[in-house]
Chain A
């Protein structure tokens, strides 16, 4: 980058710069800033009320649990699938690679519907027999986890696959020629080499999981203190004219997601400098 020559800056440069800054300010920066000011309109009272409400504590806890479990599943799944896609040949690989992006372009409502149709307790494909054996998915935590895992499924894969491709297989072959088994090669060579990509993937997955709304809304049943997540609480509070409460939860969620992209941003620019 340092070697890049500078163009002489013409008027176009400044017009484009002004356009971009104005657009981003009006569409993103200003609205997001307003959430902060609205939340703290009456000091930290709104935030304190939310954090002391046991129902809200339950909602936040459920959101955290669902996000962490979904992220853990997607991390293991994502790293395994990435390895298979990059390092192996098998029939149907191209189709799989295309299908893995599907969750990014499926409406969250459709995700919810799809899960209800299969795991719904009353007349889903597998739901009734699962419930007979005492395992409720829909209107329960497993359903929320599945919905969350569905929508954030490709994020780890999208980070890891390009890094694995660039890494190549020479280091792994060298490790094997020195006697390392497949498992040892993975832990000692492959994983440390893709560490940053995995971390970015995890952070992005976590941010996306904490904020999932539509799919969770369909599968959760929104039972107060049981299957109500933080995002569902934002809607409910807002529609019940508790705007301060809605802003406070929104502020909490927004802080986490901004923090997440900040972490990735800082790590990336540190890595780029190295």
Chain B
């Protein structure tokens, strides 16, 4: 096992950032630490890196107890959210930094830097200063710099957080492909569930300093351990006393479906190929949100005011609604 975190706690004054975290991350995998901001995921990543000291517990990296090891000795690659580019050094010198510290020969450094710049597609920018690069290029430079020291584990803190949507998507695909190529144990922090679902082999959901669930993207999406995980990984609506994803709600325009919740279409909003429908149900329950394709809505001849009968689709991920749960 590559990273073993056991019993790790961390508090800042009265604020509990991490509360008795136990976690095992297998070698060679790409793991996402997913959760809302302020939930403790970045603190955990920084504790693994040695940038932060836990109040209690231990961190073992590849079998070696690293709890008391300073960051310099852990051989971890760390990629910062805002790149932490060395502004006064060229791109090549940034990548070479860790190797120069390790006193590698000039020729070695040069070869390695060239190899890595090619890997991150920055070869033609080797002599530029970081300020002359775009955000995405800077992030790739930071990644090359972290990979240069051949780290035991690669840690990325919200690596795409500061980038715009399009670049973010590109880099996401690219990170996935890079990982398939390099195979270094990688942990990245994100608050974007789509990013985690798309890129990671395994996702650790962290909230309020605790691990809510660990699993593959499919496991988390299909068998959420609790309400929080279900709500965080995707939109949720409540049909009667069942929580279900809006696209898993079956809509009938005639009565007769057993156990159906009766309601009236209050509002329809078209977004590209899909339609979002708000259904007012009887009683004081909040509106149910239903998502379906435009074509399907047309087939059913739905319009504002149409009476509908709602049931969770067969085989959908459902969860009993807690009495005081806030419907999404």
Contacts and interface: CB of A to CB of B under 8 A. Distances in A.
Contacts of A174: 78, 80, 84, 86, 142, 145
Contacts of B98: 178-180
Interface stretch (A45-53, A187-195, A229-237, A255-263): A187-195
Contact of B72 (A171, A179, A192, A193): A179
Contact of B88 (A173, A176, A178, A193): A193
Interface size class of A (residues with CB under 8 A): 10 to 19
Interface string A205-234: 000000000000000000000000000000
B28 to A, nearest CB: 21
A177 B149 CA distance: 10
A175 interface: yes
Nearest to A193: B88
Contacts, number: 61
B203 interface: no
Contact of B101 (A170, A180, A192): A180
Interface string B84-112: 11111100000001100110000000000
A177 B86 contact: no
B149 A178 contact: yes
A173 B86 contact: no
Given A189-B86, A192-B88, A193-B87, A177 B101 contact: no
Interface in A141-189: 170-171, 173-181, 184, 188-189
Interface string B52-73: 0000000000000000001111
A192 B129 CA distance: 14
Contacts of B71: 173, 176-177
B80 A170 contact: yes
Contacts of A180: 72, 97-98, 101
B167 interface: no
Interface of A: 170-171, 173-181, 184, 188-189, 192-193, 195
The 10 A-B residue pairs with the shortest CB-CB distance in the complex, in nearest-first order: A178-B98, A174-B84, A170-B84, A177-B78, A192-B88, A179-B101, A176-B71, A180-B101, A171-B84, A179-B72
24 contacts: A170-B80, A170-B82, A171-B84, A173-B78, A173-B80, A174-B145, A175-B97, A176-B51, A177-B74, A177-B76, A177-B78, A178-B97, A178-B98, A178-B101, A178-B145, A178-B146, A179-B98, A179-B101, A179-B149, A180-B97, A180-B98, A180-B101, A184-B101, A192-B89
